[in-house]
């Protein structure tokens, strides 16, 4: 490991096979070595071969499930330091409330205040790997949640170190590529333009219909605070709030709380129909883009459909059923 770390600190890249073997042998290394390895990619971008090697190793080690019969979408972000409220999780329940199937893959927070797993656990969600329970959730509520540590038990040591470090690690980079359910659709938010290009490269090689979102001011979602890019298999598109006919928001309007309890309160306020017009706008827009991946309707129709899901209480009903099952 010492030789590999020295090699990496010299800004050299590993081959796919070396990277894959490195992760498969992770149990042999001590805490400090793993912390150095998982953090090094904050100092330089990962190469395509490194990401692919790590991804292949993790998929080899994970608990595989097959839920592709549900024709579902994953709505996920890479995480970041913008400290917004849980936009992608809210968008997921809005999409489920609109009648579509969502298989959300998530984890506890590392660089943000409240990850999707933190939030759902605080709301009373019991994480599971049981395939029948997950199918039941999808059938009855339109949404299920895959808590990443349960599906990747072999990297528990890395996850613990990641939590203690409190900054982005290679797991943040890999996470959006690791949904084990074989979902066919993905709305993926990325806070780094170069990383958006990397995901675009990987997802182009799959059969997924995807949209990779990058707000140019550094958000890993459609923040409506400025223009954003959208990478799809059909090409790369540029948007702005004005182009969509939406409000141009100041960053303060989408800020999250100072802690997880405040983020839980904000989440419940919004999904209950008591959010501000700015909060409602940003979650509806993200949900509308997700719906657009699932159908051939125009932007206005999907926006209206997402807005109706939130304002009619359908999104909240989906949440209640999800927590009750």
Q: Domain residues of the chain, as ranges?
A: 2-61, 68-324
Strands of the sheet with 102-106, listed across from one edge: 143-147, 102-106, 73-77, 185-189, 209-215, 228-232, 235-239
Tell me the two tokens of residue 221.
């979602």
90 vs 101, 129, 187, CA distance in Å? 14, 22, 13
More confident residue, 233 or 291: 291
**pLDDT band at 90, cuts 50/70/90?**
very high
Task: Give the mean model confidence (pLDDT) for residues 242-265.
Answer: 95
- Give the helix/strand (H/E) hosting 137: helix 131-141
CATH T-level fold of 68-324: Pyrimidine Nucleoside Phosphorylase; Chain A, domain 2 (3.40.1030)
With beta carbons less than 8 A apart as the criterion, state whether 114 and 86 touch: yes
User: Rounded to 5 degrees, what angle do the CA atoms 138, 141, 147 make?
Assistant: 60
CATH T-level fold of 2-61: 1.20.970
Least confident of 87-96, 108-117, 231-240: 108-117
> Do you know the residue count of the chain?
325
Q: What is the pLDDT of residues 8-47, one digit of tens each?
A: 888 888 999 999 998 888 878 888 888 888 778 767 777 8
Rg (CA), the chain: 19
In terms of Cα–Cα distance, which of 251, 191, 242, 246 is closest to 221?
Answer: 191
Q: Is the pTM of this model over 0.85?
A: yes
Q: What is the pLDDT of residues 169-220, one digit of tens each?
A: 676 778 888 899 989 999 999 988 888 998 999 899 888 999 999 999 999 9
Q: What is the pLDDT of residues 167-181, one digit of tens each?
A: 666 767 788 888 999
CA distance 118 to 106: 9
Whether residue 52 is predicted with pLDDT greater than 80 in this model: the reply is: yes
User: Rounded to 5 degrees, what angle do the CA atoms 274, 81, 177 make?
Assistant: 95
CA distance 225 to 207: 32
129 vs 123, 126, 133, CA distance in Å? 19, 10, 8
More confident residue, 40 or 318: 318
Which pLDDT score, from 0 to 100, does residue 26 have? Answer: 81
CA distance 235 to 245: 22
Whether residue 256 is predicted with pLDDT greater than 70 in this model: the reply is: yes
């Amino acid at each position: 490991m010492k030789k590999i770390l020295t090699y990496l600190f010299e800004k050299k890249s590993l081959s796919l096979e070396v990277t894959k073997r490195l992760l498969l042998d992770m149990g042999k290394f001590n805490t400090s070595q793993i912390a150095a390895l998982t953090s090094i990619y904050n100092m330089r971008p990962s190469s395509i071969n490194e990401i692919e090697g790590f991804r292949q190793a993790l998929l080899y080690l994970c608990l595989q499930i097959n839920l592709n019969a549900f024709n579902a979408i994953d709505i996920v972000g890479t995480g970041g330091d913008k400290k917004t409220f849980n936009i992608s999780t809210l968008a997921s329940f809005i999409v489920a409330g609109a009648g579509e199937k969502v298989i959300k893959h998530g984890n506890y927070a590392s660089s943000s205040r409240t990850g999707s797993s933190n939030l759902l656990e605080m709301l009373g969600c019991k994480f599971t790997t049981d395939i029948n329970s997950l199918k039941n959730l999808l059938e009855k509520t339109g949404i299920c949640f895959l808590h990443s540590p349960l599906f990747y038990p072999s990297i528990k040591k890395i996850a613990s170190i990641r939590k203690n470090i409190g900054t982005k690690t290679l797991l943040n980079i890999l996470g959006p590529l690791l949904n084990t359910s074989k979902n066919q659709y993905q709305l993926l938010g990325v806070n780094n333009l170069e990383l958006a290009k990397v995901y675009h490269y990987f997802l182009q090689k799959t059969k997924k219909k995807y949209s990779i979102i990058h707000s140019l001011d550094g958000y890993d979602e459609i923040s409506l605070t400025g223009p954003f890019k959208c990478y799809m298999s059909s090409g790369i598109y540029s948007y702005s709030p004005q182009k969509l006919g939406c409000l141009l928001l100041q960053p303060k309007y989408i800020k999250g709380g100072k802690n997880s309890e405040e983020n839980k309160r904000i989440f419940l306020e919004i999904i209950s129909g008591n959010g501000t017009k700015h909060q409602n706008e940003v979650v509806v827009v993200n949900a509308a883009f997700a719906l657009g991946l699932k159908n051939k309707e125009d932007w206005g129709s999907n926006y209206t459909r997402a807005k109706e899901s939130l304002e009619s209480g359908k999104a909240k009903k989906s949440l209640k059923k999800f927590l009750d099952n």
